[in-house]
Amino acid sequence: MAQIRRHTLSAGNDKGFTLVELIVTIAVLAIIAVVLAGILVTFMRIFLYLPREMKAKTIAHDISELSIEGEPNKPGMRYAASLTNATTTTITYISGYPTSADQVTMTFTYDTINDRVQRTVGASAAETIPYYDTPEISVACPSDVFFKYYDSSGNQIANPNTQALRNTIRRVEMTYTVMTGTGNFNSAQSSYITTSGVDIKQYV
């Protein structure tokens, strides 16, 4: 009798999931899976995005630094003695004092076809700046207006197409966006916009 009673109690405790419990469990697991998937995707985007953001910021900074300050034997716009060409995509100037023997003609150009910034020293071939620029990088600017020019009163000179107008330029500003790939964060790409400027002291 004792054996039969133990068997009966054991059989009564052998209970499985009901249909409702099973549905609730599956629903909870599905919600957890969706949340974890979203977190994982976000972390993956950030993991891929951060190095590209750093690269975009570094290149944007170096474009400004090389254009404004320059480097040895390649003086930037800060050292312009006179401007000989000034458009929305190109600026050409002669650096150094008017009587100096080491004057250099410098040209910076925004290449609207390849979305690059190029520098030309004297009669040498144009070079992309910075030198470590990679194919995935592109430089964009609003309406292809890379350079803006201002006089001593802060008024913009929209089209300095004569030497007389170029002689009145006292400040140059650059606004551009450096992007990796499409620049879309959802694709783990970076887009960094920057504006920089420099006062020009011409000897005219």
pLDDT higher than threshold 70 for residue 43 = no
Which residues, in sequence order, are bridge partners of residue 74?
71
Tens digits of residue pLDDT in 139-151: 999 889 999 999 9
Residue 32 forms part of a structural domain = no
Question: 111 by DSSP, 3-state: which?
Answer: strand
88-116 confidence digits (pLDDT tens): 999 999 987 666 677 899 999 999 999 99
Q: What is the pLDDT of residues 4-39, one digit of tens each?
A: 444 444 445 556 668 777 888 888 888 887 777 767
Is the residue at 1 inside a domain? no
Residue 182 lies in a domain: yes
Are 85 and 91 in contact by the 8 Å Cβ rule? The answer is: yes
Cα separations (Å) of 121 from 93, 106, 169? Answer: 10, 5, 22
Q: How many domains does the chain have?
A: 1
Contact 109, 124 (CB under 8 A): no
Q: Looking at the domain assignment, is residue 31 inside a domain?
A: no
pTM more than 0.85: no
In a domain, 15, yes or no: no
Range of the domain at 91: 42-199
Q: Rounded mean pLDDT of 170-192?
A: 90
Query: Is residue 183 a part of any domain in this protein?
Result: yes
- Whether residue 11 lies inside any domain: the answer is no
- Residue whose C-alpha is closest to residue 77's, from 65, 60, 89: 65
Residue 29 counted as domain residue: no
pLDDT at 26: 85
